[in-house]
Protein backbone atom coordinates (compact mmCIF):
# COMPACT_ATOMS: atom_id res chain seq x y z
CA UNK A 1 0.00 0.00 0.00
CA UNK A 2 1.25 3.48 -0.80
CA UNK A 3 0.26 6.76 0.72
CA UNK A 4 1.41 10.34 1.15
CA UNK A 5 3.20 10.78 -2.19
CA UNK A 6 5.28 7.59 -1.96
CA UNK A 7 5.84 5.72 -5.24
CA UNK A 8 3.34 3.00 -6.02
CA UNK A 9 5.91 0.33 -6.84
CA UNK A 10 7.16 -1.76 -3.96
CA UNK A 11 4.47 -0.65 -1.51
CA UNK A 12 1.38 -2.32 -2.91
CA UNK A 13 -0.80 -4.10 -0.39
CA UNK A 14 -2.27 -7.49 -1.29
CA UNK A 15 -6.02 -7.79 -0.74
CA UNK A 16 -7.68 -11.21 -0.44
CA UNK A 17 -11.29 -12.10 0.44
CA UNK A 18 -12.57 -11.36 3.94
CA UNK A 19 -9.48 -9.96 5.66
CA UNK A 20 -9.23 -10.85 9.33
CA UNK A 21 -9.15 -8.06 11.90
CA UNK A 22 -8.92 -9.70 15.35
CA UNK A 23 -8.92 -6.34 17.15
CA UNK A 24 -12.35 -5.39 15.81
CA UNK A 25 -15.38 -5.99 18.04
CA UNK A 26 -18.19 -8.26 16.88
CA UNK A 27 -20.62 -5.43 16.12
CA UNK A 28 -18.08 -3.67 13.91
CA UNK A 29 -17.26 -6.92 12.11
CA UNK A 30 -20.93 -7.50 11.41
CA UNK A 31 -21.35 -3.95 10.13
CA UNK A 32 -18.45 -4.33 7.70
CA UNK A 33 -19.71 -7.76 6.62
CA UNK A 34 -23.10 -6.25 5.84
CA UNK A 35 -21.51 -3.49 3.72
CA UNK A 36 -19.37 -5.99 1.83
CA UNK A 37 -22.35 -8.24 1.13
CA UNK A 38 -24.47 -5.34 -0.12
CA UNK A 39 -21.66 -4.05 -2.34
CA UNK A 40 -20.99 -7.49 -3.77
CA UNK A 41 -24.68 -7.91 -4.61
CA UNK A 42 -24.75 -4.61 -6.50
CA UNK A 43 -21.57 -5.44 -8.45
CA UNK A 44 -22.89 -8.83 -9.55
CA UNK A 45 -25.38 -7.05 -11.83
CA UNK A 46 -22.84 -6.79 -14.69
CA UNK A 47 -20.10 -8.80 -16.41
CA UNK A 48 -18.69 -5.85 -18.37
CA UNK A 49 -15.40 -4.73 -16.85
CA UNK A 50 -15.80 -1.00 -17.55
CA UNK A 51 -19.32 -0.99 -16.14
CA UNK A 52 -18.22 -2.99 -13.09
CA UNK A 53 -15.41 -0.55 -12.22
CA UNK A 54 -17.66 2.47 -12.81
CA UNK A 55 -20.30 0.95 -10.53
CA UNK A 56 -17.71 0.14 -7.86
CA UNK A 57 -16.29 3.67 -8.07
CA UNK A 58 -19.76 5.14 -7.57
CA UNK A 59 -20.70 2.89 -4.64
CA UNK A 60 -17.45 3.32 -2.71
CA UNK A 61 -17.81 7.11 -2.76
CA UNK A 62 -20.50 6.68 -0.13
CA UNK A 63 -17.80 5.66 2.32
CA UNK A 64 -14.54 7.28 1.14
CA UNK A 65 -13.71 10.56 -0.57
CA UNK A 66 -11.23 10.18 -3.42
CA UNK A 67 -10.44 11.93 -6.70
CA UNK A 68 -9.83 9.02 -9.02
CA UNK A 69 -8.88 5.40 -9.43
CA UNK A 70 -7.05 3.20 -11.91
CA UNK A 71 -7.33 -0.52 -12.59
CA UNK A 72 -4.91 -2.60 -14.67
CA UNK A 73 -5.02 -6.23 -15.80
CA UNK A 74 -2.32 -6.46 -18.49
CA UNK A 75 -2.97 -10.03 -19.70
CA UNK A 76 -6.38 -8.91 -21.01
CA UNK A 77 -5.07 -5.46 -21.99
CA UNK A 78 -7.39 -3.80 -19.46
CA UNK A 79 -6.27 -0.34 -18.35
CA UNK A 80 -9.08 1.74 -16.83
CA UNK A 81 -8.70 5.28 -15.49
CA UNK A 82 -11.53 7.09 -13.73
CA UNK A 83 -11.20 10.65 -12.44
CA UNK A 84 -7.92 12.42 -11.61
CA UNK A 85 -4.63 10.88 -10.50
CA UNK A 86 -2.99 13.31 -8.04
CA UNK A 87 0.12 12.34 -6.07
CA UNK A 88 -1.42 10.85 -2.91
CA UNK A 89 -2.48 7.27 -3.51
CA UNK A 90 -3.01 3.81 -2.07
CA UNK A 91 -2.36 0.75 -4.22
CA UNK A 92 -3.73 -2.79 -3.94
CA UNK A 93 -2.99 -6.11 -5.59
CA UNK A 94 -6.26 -8.04 -5.79
CA UNK A 95 -6.00 -11.81 -5.25
CA UNK A 96 -8.51 -14.68 -4.92
CA UNK A 97 -7.31 -18.23 -4.21
CA UNK A 98 -3.85 -17.35 -5.46
CA UNK A 99 -5.18 -15.87 -8.72
CA UNK A 100 -4.03 -12.34 -9.50
CA UNK A 101 -7.05 -10.19 -10.42
CA UNK A 102 -5.22 -6.98 -11.27
CA UNK A 103 -3.99 -3.85 -9.52
CA UNK A 104 -6.24 -1.08 -8.21
CA UNK A 105 -5.06 2.39 -7.16
CA UNK A 106 -7.00 5.13 -5.39
CA UNK A 107 -5.86 8.76 -5.74
CA UNK A 108 -6.54 11.90 -3.73
CA UNK A 109 -5.21 15.45 -3.43
CA UNK A 110 -4.52 14.93 0.29
CA UNK A 111 -3.29 11.85 2.18
CA UNK A 112 -5.51 8.94 3.15
CA UNK A 113 -5.89 8.35 6.89
CA UNK A 114 -5.38 4.91 8.42
CA UNK A 115 -9.07 4.54 9.24
CA UNK A 116 -9.95 5.32 5.61
CA UNK A 117 -7.44 2.76 4.34
CA UNK A 118 -9.00 0.13 6.59
CA UNK A 119 -12.44 0.96 5.18
CA UNK A 120 -11.15 0.72 1.60
CA UNK A 121 -9.54 -2.64 2.28
CA UNK A 122 -12.75 -4.03 3.71
CA UNK A 123 -14.88 -2.74 0.86
CA UNK A 124 -12.47 -4.21 -1.67
CA UNK A 125 -13.48 -7.63 -0.36
CA UNK A 126 -16.89 -6.96 -1.90
CA UNK A 127 -15.27 -6.37 -5.29
CA UNK A 128 -13.13 -9.50 -5.51
CA UNK A 129 -15.62 -12.21 -6.48
CA UNK A 130 -17.65 -10.07 -8.92
CA UNK A 131 -14.33 -9.00 -10.45
CA UNK A 132 -13.16 -12.60 -10.79
CA UNK A 133 -16.43 -13.55 -12.52
CA UNK A 134 -16.08 -10.59 -14.87
CA UNK A 135 -12.50 -11.49 -15.79
CA UNK A 136 -13.52 -15.10 -16.46
CA UNK A 137 -16.25 -13.79 -18.75
CA UNK A 138 -13.80 -11.44 -20.49
CA UNK A 139 -11.38 -14.33 -21.06
CA UNK A 140 -14.18 -16.46 -22.54
CA UNK A 141 -15.23 -13.65 -24.86
CA UNK A 142 -11.65 -13.04 -25.94
CA UNK A 143 -11.09 -16.73 -26.60
CA UNK A 144 -14.17 -16.86 -28.83
CA UNK A 145 -13.10 -13.80 -30.81
CA UNK A 146 -9.37 -14.44 -31.21
CA UNK A 147 -7.57 -16.18 -34.07
CA UNK A 148 -5.59 -18.93 -32.31
CA UNK A 149 -2.67 -18.87 -34.76
CA UNK A 150 -1.87 -15.16 -34.98
CA UNK A 151 -3.31 -13.92 -31.67
CA UNK A 152 -5.31 -11.11 -33.31
CA UNK A 153 -9.11 -10.87 -33.50
CA UNK A 154 -10.93 -13.23 -35.84
CA UNK A 155 -13.45 -12.75 -38.65
CA UNK A 156 -16.47 -13.01 -36.35
CA UNK A 157 -15.09 -10.23 -34.15
CA UNK A 158 -14.36 -8.16 -37.25
CA UNK A 159 -17.93 -8.39 -38.56
CA UNK A 160 -19.49 -7.21 -35.31
CA UNK A 161 -16.89 -4.50 -34.70
CA UNK A 162 -17.18 -3.10 -38.22
CA UNK A 163 -20.98 -2.87 -38.05
CA UNK A 164 -20.82 -1.18 -34.65
CA UNK A 165 -18.05 1.31 -35.48
CA UNK A 166 -19.45 2.23 -38.90
CA UNK A 167 -22.82 2.93 -37.31
CA UNK A 168 -21.24 5.11 -34.62
CA UNK A 169 -19.09 7.01 -37.11
CA UNK A 170 -22.04 7.79 -39.40
CA UNK A 171 -24.28 8.75 -36.50
CA UNK A 172 -21.76 11.08 -34.87
CA UNK A 173 -20.06 12.26 -38.08
CA UNK A 174 -16.60 11.13 -36.91
CA UNK A 175 -13.80 9.82 -39.16
CA UNK A 176 -13.18 6.13 -39.67
CA UNK A 177 -10.61 4.48 -41.92
CA UNK A 178 -9.67 0.92 -42.80
CA UNK A 179 -6.48 -0.78 -44.01
CA UNK A 180 -6.42 -4.17 -45.71
CA UNK A 181 -2.99 -5.82 -45.50
CA UNK A 182 -1.88 -8.83 -47.55
CA UNK A 183 1.41 -10.73 -47.17
CA UNK A 184 3.16 -10.69 -50.54
CA UNK A 185 3.78 -14.04 -52.26
CA UNK A 186 2.57 -15.98 -49.24
CA UNK A 187 1.75 -19.08 -51.30
CA UNK A 188 5.37 -19.16 -52.39
CA UNK A 189 6.49 -19.16 -48.73
CA UNK A 190 4.23 -22.15 -48.04
CA UNK A 191 5.28 -24.00 -51.20
CA UNK A 192 9.01 -23.47 -50.73
CA UNK A 193 9.33 -23.80 -46.95
CA UNK A 194 6.23 -25.67 -45.75
CA UNK A 195 3.15 -24.71 -43.78
CA UNK A 196 4.98 -24.64 -40.43
CA UNK A 197 7.16 -21.78 -41.62
CA UNK A 198 4.18 -20.19 -43.33
CA UNK A 199 2.34 -20.16 -40.01
CA UNK A 200 5.32 -18.54 -38.32
CA UNK A 201 5.45 -15.89 -41.05
CA UNK A 202 1.72 -15.19 -40.61
CA UNK A 203 2.13 -14.78 -36.86
CA UNK A 204 5.17 -12.51 -37.23
CA UNK A 205 3.44 -10.22 -39.73
CA UNK A 206 0.28 -9.99 -37.58
CA UNK A 207 2.24 -9.19 -34.43
CA UNK A 208 4.37 -6.62 -36.25
CA UNK A 209 1.24 -4.85 -37.52
CA UNK A 210 -0.38 -5.00 -34.08
CA UNK A 211 2.68 -3.44 -32.48
CA UNK A 212 2.63 -0.66 -35.09
CA UNK A 213 -0.90 0.56 -34.37
CA UNK A 214 -2.40 2.48 -31.45
CA UNK A 215 -4.21 0.84 -28.54
CA UNK A 216 -7.51 2.24 -29.84
CA UNK A 217 -7.03 0.61 -33.27
CA UNK A 218 -8.16 -2.96 -33.95
CA UNK A 219 -6.57 -5.63 -36.15
CA UNK A 220 -8.41 -8.71 -37.43
CA UNK A 221 -7.48 -11.74 -39.48
CA UNK A 222 -9.70 -11.17 -42.51
CA UNK A 223 -8.88 -14.53 -44.10
CA UNK A 224 -5.81 -16.50 -45.17
CA UNK A 225 -2.90 -14.07 -45.27
CA UNK A 226 -5.06 -10.91 -45.21
CA UNK A 227 -5.54 -8.69 -42.17
CA UNK A 228 -7.93 -5.80 -41.69
CA UNK A 229 -7.05 -2.83 -39.46
CA UNK A 230 -9.92 -0.68 -38.23
CA UNK A 231 -9.01 2.90 -37.32
CA UNK A 232 -11.71 4.75 -35.40
CA UNK A 233 -11.37 8.52 -35.18
CA UNK A 234 -8.75 8.50 -37.96
CA UNK A 235 -9.02 10.29 -41.29
CA UNK A 236 -7.54 9.12 -44.60
CA UNK A 237 -4.25 10.98 -44.13
CA UNK A 238 -3.70 9.44 -40.72
CA UNK A 239 -4.51 5.99 -42.11
CA UNK A 240 -2.02 6.49 -44.94
CA UNK A 241 0.76 7.35 -42.49
CA UNK A 242 -0.04 4.31 -40.36
CA UNK A 243 -0.16 1.99 -43.37
CA UNK A 244 3.28 3.17 -44.47
CA UNK A 245 4.63 2.59 -40.96
CA UNK A 246 3.29 -0.97 -41.01
CA UNK A 247 4.76 -1.61 -44.48
CA UNK A 248 8.20 -0.41 -43.39
CA UNK A 249 8.11 -2.32 -40.09
CA UNK A 250 7.23 -5.61 -41.80
CA UNK A 251 9.88 -5.08 -44.48
CA UNK A 252 12.48 -4.43 -41.76
CA UNK A 253 11.58 -7.50 -39.70
CA UNK A 254 14.45 -9.84 -38.97
CA UNK A 255 14.39 -12.98 -41.17
CA UNK A 256 11.77 -15.45 -39.95
CA UNK A 257 13.15 -18.78 -38.67
CA UNK A 258 16.29 -20.54 -39.91
CA UNK A 259 14.92 -20.43 -43.46
CA UNK A 260 15.75 -16.70 -43.58
CA UNK A 261 12.24 -15.89 -44.75
CA UNK A 262 11.80 -12.18 -45.37
CA UNK A 263 8.41 -10.64 -45.92
CA UNK A 264 6.78 -7.63 -47.47
CA UNK A 265 3.13 -6.58 -47.47
CA UNK A 266 0.76 -4.73 -49.75
CA UNK A 267 -1.87 -2.47 -48.21
CA UNK A 268 -5.10 -0.91 -49.45
CA UNK A 269 -6.42 2.12 -47.56
CA UNK A 270 -9.73 3.96 -47.66
CA UNK A 271 -12.02 6.00 -45.40
CA UNK A 272 -15.73 5.91 -44.60
CA UNK A 273 -17.91 8.39 -46.49
CA UNK A 274 -21.35 9.72 -45.49
CA UNK A 275 -23.12 7.51 -48.05
CA UNK A 276 -21.11 4.36 -47.30
CA UNK A 277 -22.25 1.12 -45.80
CA UNK A 278 -20.12 -1.88 -44.90
CA UNK A 279 -20.35 -3.31 -48.43
CA UNK A 280 -19.21 -0.17 -50.28
CA UNK A 281 -16.41 0.40 -47.78
CA UNK A 282 -15.15 -3.16 -48.19
CA UNK A 283 -15.35 -2.94 -51.98
CA UNK A 284 -13.13 0.16 -52.10
CA UNK A 285 -10.73 -1.37 -49.61
CA UNK A 286 -10.44 -4.54 -51.71
CA UNK A 287 -9.95 -2.52 -54.88
CA UNK A 288 -7.15 -0.50 -53.29
CA UNK A 289 -5.37 -3.67 -52.17
CA UNK A 290 -5.72 -5.24 -55.63
CA UNK A 291 -4.17 -2.14 -57.19
CA UNK A 292 -1.27 -2.27 -54.74
CA UNK A 293 -0.55 -5.90 -55.65
CA UNK A 294 -1.03 -5.27 -59.36
CA UNK A 295 1.46 -2.36 -59.22
CA UNK A 296 4.26 -4.57 -57.93
CA UNK A 297 3.48 -5.25 -54.24
CA UNK A 298 5.31 -3.95 -51.15
CA UNK A 299 3.40 -0.66 -51.38
CA UNK A 300 0.26 1.10 -50.24
CA UNK A 301 -2.57 2.38 -52.43
CA UNK A 302 -5.09 4.95 -51.19
CA UNK A 303 -8.65 4.83 -52.48
CA UNK A 304 -10.06 8.36 -52.30
CA UNK A 305 -13.37 7.64 -54.09
CA UNK A 306 -15.39 8.32 -50.93
CA UNK A 307 -19.12 7.87 -51.39
Across the chain, mean pLDDT equals: 88
Closest CA relative to residue 103, chosen from 84, 127, 137: 127
Q: Answer whether residue 3 shows pLDDT above 80.
A: no
| pLDDT tens figures, 112-135 | 999 899 889 888 988 999 999 999
User: d(Cα 208, Cα 265) in Å, to the nearest integer?
Assistant: 11
| pLDDT tens figures, 199-237 | 989 999 999 999 999 888 999 999 999 999 999 999 999
Task: Give the domains, in start order, of the chain with CATH numbers.
Answer: 13-145 (3.30.450.40), 155-303 (3.30.70.270)
Contact 193/185 with Cβ under 8 angstroms?
no
Q: Are strands 88-96 and 99-108 parallel, antiparallel or unpaired?
A: antiparallel
- Point out the catalytic residue in the list 116, 165, 225, 240: 225
Contact 110/132 with Cβ under 8 angstroms?
no
Is position 225 annotated as part of the catalytic site? yes
Mean pLDDT of 239-250: 97
User: d(Cα 11, Cα 3) in Å, to the nearest integer?
Assistant: 9
Spatial strand order in the sheet of 78-83: 13-15, 88-96, 99-108, 68-73, 78-83
Mean pLDDT of 150-155: 93
- Which residues, at least 6 apart from 148, have a Cβ–Cβ distance to it below 8 Å? none
Confidence of residue 258 (pLDDT cuts 50, 70, 90): low
Coil vs helix vs strand at 157: helix
Contact 34/45 with Cβ under 8 angstroms?
no
Report field, pTM of the whole predicted structure over 0.85: no
Coil vs helix vs strand at 76: helix
Mean pLDDT of 60-74: 93
User: d(Cα 12, Cα 94) in Å, to the nearest integer?
Assistant: 10
How high is the pLDDT of residue 18? 55
Lowest mean pLDDT across 81-90, 132-141, 230-239, 250-259: 250-259
User: d(Cα 182, Cα 204) in Å, to the nearest integer?
Assistant: 13
Closest CA relative to residue 5, chosen from 121, 90, 69: 90
Q: How many CA atoms lie within 13 A of 289 on its CB side?
A: 24
How high is the pLDDT of residue 97? 87
Contact 67/37 with Cβ under 8 angstroms?
no
Amino acid sequence: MTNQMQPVSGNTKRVTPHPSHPDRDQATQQRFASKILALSGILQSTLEINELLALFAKEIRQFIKYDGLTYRFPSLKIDIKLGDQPVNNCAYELVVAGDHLGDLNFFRHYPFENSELETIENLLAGLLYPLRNTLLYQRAVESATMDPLTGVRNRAAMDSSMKREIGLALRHNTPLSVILMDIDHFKLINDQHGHLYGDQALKAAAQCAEQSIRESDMIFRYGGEEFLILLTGTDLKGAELLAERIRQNVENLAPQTDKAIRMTVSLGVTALGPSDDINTLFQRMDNALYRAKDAGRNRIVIDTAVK
